[in-house]
């Protein structure tokens, strides 16, 4: 179990659905605030941003690197989509005034320092930074809980980074993730949720979803994910490299509501439920005489059968307790057999 603000994250609580507005606002504070408002109206609890200070985040070589989901260099994509420090402070304040929790992903030391200074309750670490021990040590030095995506990693490459954070006594959650935008179903590793849970039993495990549609996210809940993170936009008609893998307000609301239902259903163990009793009484079979039987005869297999309804004293599955017993009264065909009708 970990806590982000006052929100408990564990298998004992409904999954936490995180709406990542990321850079979908394209550097416009007003758009970012509108996205937060729509997420709040959809029932969201946590907003995640991305904090980019380009000069501390990248080198000049980044101006020649083009992401597969963009037609600009990564330098230009991030430069044109970043908020200023004052704008991010305003966005955080607006988010919290709506009653939501605000967290962000730092992509540099200065971003991590800035987020700590403005009192975020936790850090989100992206897949690109989850194998960077220099950066993780700096973030861990702040002592805040960390939610870390694990795209492009194996259990073996993750283990030293998890050990680093656990040794620093950092409350930690790992998110299974495929770093493709979008992630076709054949690239999504839902079984990775189980692998992470088995490999790192002391941390919470969730799912950072880049697929299209709500289905992979909801499936992750059935596999035990305690966090769902997805990119969020006010409209899928907006331009931006992450829009194609983003959910809109209607899909966010659906995921929040249906994930709670799946989580609720997952709490039940296999047994006859109180609510099933009325069905049980007509749907199961009771033991009956399969022919007219006389007092004093020894009951044999061909004398009995099991038929609906199930309101009789002897259920069909207890037939062996009746075979070989002496009948203490006459029974008509299809008459339910009672324990008092047979010898002990």
Closest CA to 208 of 195, 190, 235, 222: 190
Please report, rounded to a whole number, the percentage of residues in the chain having pLDDT higher than 90.
Answer: 91
The CA-based angle 135-137-138, given to 5 degrees, is 65
Long-range CB contact pairs, 134-138, < 8 A, 24+ = 135/109, 136/161, 136/164, 136/165, 137/164, 137/168, 138/109, 138/112
Q: pLDDT per residue over 229-266, tens digit each? A: 999 999 999 999 899 999 999 999 999 999 999 999 99
pTM for the model stands at 0.90
How is the chain split into domains, by residue range? Answer: 2-266, 274-341
The C-alpha atoms of residue 104 and residue 75 are separated, in whole angstroms, by: 19
pLDDT at position 274, please?
84
pLDDT at position 167, please?
98
For the cut 80, the answer to whether the pLDDT of residue 273 exceeds it is: yes
Check if the beta carbon of residue 95 is closer than 8 Å to that of residue 47: yes
Check if the beta carbon of residue 112 is closer than 8 Å to that of residue 106: yes
pLDDT at position 313, please?
95
- The CATH code belonging to domain 2-266 is 3.20.20.70
pLDDT at position 258, please?
98
pLDDT category at 69 given cuts 50, 70, 90 is: confident
Fold category of 274-341 in CATH: Type Iii Antifreeze Protein Isoform Hplc 12 (3.90.1210)
Pairing state between β 286-289 and 304-307? antiparallel
pLDDT category at 270 given cuts 50, 70, 90 is: confident
Phi-psi region of 324 (alpha: psi -120 to 50; beta: other; left: phi over 0): left
């Amino acid at each position: 179990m970990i806590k982000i603000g006052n929100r408990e994250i564990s298998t004992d609580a409904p999954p936490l659905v995180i709406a990542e507005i990321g850079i979908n606002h394209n550097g416009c504070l007003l758009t970012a605030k509108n996205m937060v408002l729509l997420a709040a109206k959809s029932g969201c609890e946590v907003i995640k941003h991305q904090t980019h200070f380009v000069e501390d985040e990248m080198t000049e070589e980044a101006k020649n690197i083009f992401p597969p989901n963009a037609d600009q260099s990564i330098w230009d994509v991030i430069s044109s989509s970043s908020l200023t420090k004052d704008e991010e402070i305003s966005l955080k304040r607006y988010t919290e005034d709506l009653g939501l929790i605000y967290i962000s992903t730092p992509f540099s030391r200065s971003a991590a320092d800035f987020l700590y200074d403005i009192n975020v309750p936790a850090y989100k670490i992206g897949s690109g930074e989850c194998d960077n021990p220099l950066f993780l040590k700096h973030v861990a030095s702040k002592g805040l809980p960390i939610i870390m995506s694990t795209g492009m990693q194996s259990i073996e490459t993750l283990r030293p980074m998890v050990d680093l954070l656990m040794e620093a006594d950092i409350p930690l959650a790992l998110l299974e993730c495929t770093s493709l935008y979008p992630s076709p179903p054949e690239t999504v590793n839902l079984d990775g949720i189980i692998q992470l849970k088995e490999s790192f039993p002391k941390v919470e495990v969730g799912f950072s979803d880049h697929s299209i549609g709500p289905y992979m996210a909801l499936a992750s809940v059935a596999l035990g994910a305690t966090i769902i993170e997805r990119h969020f936009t006010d409209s899928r008609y907006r331009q931006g490299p992450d829009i194609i893998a983003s959910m809109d307000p209607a899909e966010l609301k659906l995921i929040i509501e249906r994930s709670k239902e799946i989580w609720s259903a997952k709490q039940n163990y296999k047994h006859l439920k109180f609510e099933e009793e009325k069905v049980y009484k007509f749907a199961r079979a009771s033991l009956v005489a399969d022919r007219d039987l006389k007092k004093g005869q020894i009951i044999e297999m061909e004398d009995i059968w099991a038929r609906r309804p199930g309101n009789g004293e002897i259920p069909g599955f207890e037939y062996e307790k009746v075979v070989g017993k002496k009948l203490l009264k006459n029974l008509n065909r299809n008459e339910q057999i009672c324990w008092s009708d047979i010898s002990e």
